[in-house]
Amino acid sequence: MQTHIISLLVEDHPGVLTRMSGMFTQRGINITSLTVSPCEKEGLSRMTVAIKGSESELEMVRKQLSNLIEVVKVVDLKGNEAIIRDLCLLKVHAKDPEARSEVMQLAESYGAKILDAALDSVTLELTEEAKKIDRFVDLMRHFGVKQLFRTGVTAIGISAGAGGGVEK
Amino acid sequence: MAKQKLSGAEIVVEELKTEGAEVAFGIPGGALLDLYDVLYKEEAIRHILMRHEQCAAHAADGYARVSGKAGVCIATSGPGATNLVTGLANANMDSSPVVALTGQVPTSVIGTNAFQEASTFTITMPITKHNFLVKRTEDLPKTIHNAFYIANTGRKGVVLVDLPTDILAGVAEVDLHPKETFAGYKPNIRPNQVQIKRAVEVLANAERPLILAGGGVISADAAAELRHLADFLCAPVVTTLMGKGAIPENHPFCLGMAGMHGQLYANRAINECDALLALGTRFSDRTTGWQLDQFAPDATLIHVDIDTAEINKNMQVDIPIVGDVKLALSGILKLLEKKREKKGGSEWEKRIKKMHETCDSCVEDISMERASVSDILIKEISRILDDDAIVTTEVGQCQMFAAHYYMTRKPRAFISSGGLGTMGFGFPAAIGAKVAAPDKKVVDIAGDGSFLMTCQDLATCVENDIQVVVCILDNRYLGMVRQWQELFYEKKYAQTGLGVTPDFVKLAEAFGCYGERVEKPEELKDALNNAFESGKPAVLDMIVGKEDKVLPMIPPGGGITGMIGTERCKHI
């Protein structure tokens, strides 16, 4: 089971998200992450959907998504042709001064930003590939993670039609 | 055209007319008073008042399948809309173009559990091709236009438009008849020429070519092209349930319906062919059986379908062709005719003709000892009705008896619930069929279980003078389930006996219809004549054997070569 990232350009109408996610529900496929945001064109939104599944499931999903009337474009983003990012906000226990400095050092080495420091905790932000965030979060668990928020992946193509892909 | 100031309801009706809607099947309600107020004055649209919304959807579906135009059904908010659901799901599964209009509570109270409120938009999302909840009166022209455009293009289907009362009552200045559509909706119509060439290469060199025709052939109006290709290739044609009528079933190359309850030889041909051209079919399990290694194991598989999502869904194919079946067939024919002469007389052709003749003579020969009464009755109906007559079916044994023994001679003349398998479909679909083709005889082949689910619409037939004839195979059982219990569940007939069902003759008479009981097959001819002569909608209660079985069949889990109950095929 491989993770696939599908980028969709959709009409910005109420109900589009339900229709899109309903398509996955009907076919018994679990969405691992989903982001929705405005895009460069007015009236359209971009959705980035990550799913776990086989190649044939991916093919089915791609075709069924294309069949949705409000979906303008479907792009299957392969790892080597896209920049994939995930944003993570986490609050780590850091009451002990030694732990505190270690957390800050590790944060720096991962390129994470320190957003807030309180007496008993540090709040960090890291924007990276999902796997790197996973590693960072695992490290932070040693100190104790109080809260963790992740946006889920968003991705942009780096091939010829960057962020574009195939028109339906 | 200059902008016009119109109410929402007026816009809806104007756009319905522009889209060519001549008939609507529906039931009014509180949320639709404004719409019906406009329809009241409107002469260009005939409104047929149904007695249940499910029947309105089935009637619109039947109308669409017979006429080739989108059928229109109307229901009010809440229960009206939820009652439509089964009918819409049925039409959508069989790719039948239907536009449904539903009333909705005012936009200001949507989401408050207002009286007769249901979230029609979300309920119908997975069972429609597309749906709309209209939020502004000025959006109506483009919404109604797109509803018809989407329903009737590409892979056809159901589009629902949910209309809140304030949107219908509201007034807006609008341009009528817009052409604007969705950027993301571009049905694949034109087949890829390279794929056509590859297909022609395979077909031209095949020794044992076979064509599998699905419902797509009928909805693309490609029956003439199909026949031409079959004749040119001397290739036999088998059909799915939905494809019945794509080729006349008495054509020497037609082996009839394949699949679970198909003809023995149709299934055998699929197993033996070396090239299979599948047209407008989705390879449903009812067609392929469950052992896919028995389905055309030696064949190069060519699949033509208008829906990309059907390619490689149920069957892995060698040559996919995405596009309109009619265009694909003409493309194939054009190249094929350039490439080689028509050559007849192959071993395969001889074998097919022999198969066809044996199957035919076997069907002809069914005598009282060999067959059930149901078989004989359906064959009798087939003999009595003319080539133009339309047969609709309910679901279950009656449907499979009809599919197996009714000889369909024209496209759009056999109307059945293929995908969803909806009991109660046949009768309201017959109403729609008769409205679409008033000059044709329309017969619903029903079971007593199915007919009871929607029989209240006999009132609609009487009131609107819609003369359909319902022929009930009356065995006082839910017959198909009973058959499975007999064959696979040690004859434990759990909840399939219907006990004392109504006297269908009296039921018909109570509604003002003609009713007659047929105790023996030899009485059927006169009874059918009486029914047609009566000038009324009619119900024939045909008494059949309680344990009649539809055979042969592929048992659950079996493959296309593993039919059981073949003893009745005398040529085995």
Domain that holds residue A90: 83-155
| Complete edge-to-edge strand list for the sheet that includes strand A82-93 | A113-117, A121-128, A82-93, A145-157
Residue B361: which pLDDT band, with cuts at 50, 70 and 90? low
For chain A, the domain total comes to 2
Q: Is A87 found in the same domain as A40?
A: no
Looking at the fold, whether A71 and A105 belong to one and the same domain comes out as no
- Per the CB < 8 A criterion, the answer to whether B58 and B425 are in contact is yes
In a domain, A162, yes or no: no
The pTM (predicted TM-score) of the whole model is 0.95
> Are B312 and A56 an interchain contact pair (Cβ–Cβ within 8 Å)?
yes
Whether pLDDT at A148 is above 70: yes
Q: Is the domain of A73 the same as that of A98?
A: no
Q: Which residues of A touch B182 (CB under 8 A)?
A: 11, 69-70
Do residues A71 and A93 share a domain?
A: no
Structure confidence at residue B359 (pLDDT): 72
Rounded to whole angstroms, the Cα distance separating B507 from B498 reads 16
Query: Would you call B316 an interface residue with chain A, using a CB distance cutoff of 8 Å?
Result: no
Q: What is the DSSP string of A106-138?
A: HHHHHT-EEEEE-SSEEEEEEEE-HHHHHHHHH
Looking at A13-17, B58-62, B75-79, B523-527, which range is the least confident one?
Answer: A13-17
Q: Where is average pLDDT lowest: B151-165, B199-213, B369-383? A: B369-383
- As a whole number of angstroms, the distance between CA B313 and CA B303 comes to 11
- At A118-143, the pLDDT tens digits run 999 999 999 999 999 999 999 999 99
Confirm or reject contact between A66 and chain B (CB < 8 A).
Answer: yes
* Domain of residue A138, CATH code: 3.30.70.1150
pLDDT greater than 80 at residue A14: yes
A18, A73: one domain: yes
Q: Is residue A15 part of a domain?
A: yes
**Residues of chain B positioned with their CB less than 8 A from the CB of A11:** 182-184
* Structure confidence by residue, pLDDT tens digits, B461-488: 999 999 999 999 999 999 999 999 999 9
Task: Tell whether B161 lies on the interface with A, counting CB pairs under 8 A.
Answer: no
pLDDT of B441 above 90: yes
**Same domain membership, residue A56 and residue A91:** no
Query: What confidence tier does B358 reach under pLDDT thresholds 50, 70, 90?
Result: confident
Question: What CATH number did the domain enclosing A23 receive?
Answer: 3.30.70.260
DSSP A67-111: HSTTEEEEEEE-GGGEEEEEEEEEEEE--SHHHHHHHHHHHHHHT
Span of A76-90, B22-36, B258-272 with lowest mean pLDDT = A76-90
Q: What is residue B165's predicted lDDT score, i.e. its pLDDT?
A: 98
Report all structural domains of chain B as residue ranges with CATH numbers, in order of start: 4-174 (3.40.50.970), 193-354 (3.40.50.1220), 373-548 (3.40.50.970)
pLDDT at residue A2, as a whole number: 86
Residues 6+ apart with CB under 8 A from B89: B127, B420, B422
- Give residue A163's pLDDT: 47
Q: What is the mean pLDDT of residues A6-21?
A: 94
Would A163 be classed as within a structural domain?
A: no
**Statement to judge: residues A53 and A108 lie in one domain:** no
Residue after which a domain boundary falls, among A77, A99, A121: A77
Chosen domain end from A30, A45, A77: A77
B420 phi, psi to nearest 5 deg: -80, -30
B126 vs A contacts (CB less than 8 Å): 22, 26
Same domain? For A65 and A124 the reply is no
Separation of alpha carbons B447 and B540, rounded Å:
11
Nearest CA distance, A63 vs chain B (angstrom): 5
Q: Does B499 touch chain A if contact means CB atoms closer than 8 Å?
A: no
What ipTM did this prediction achieve? 0.89
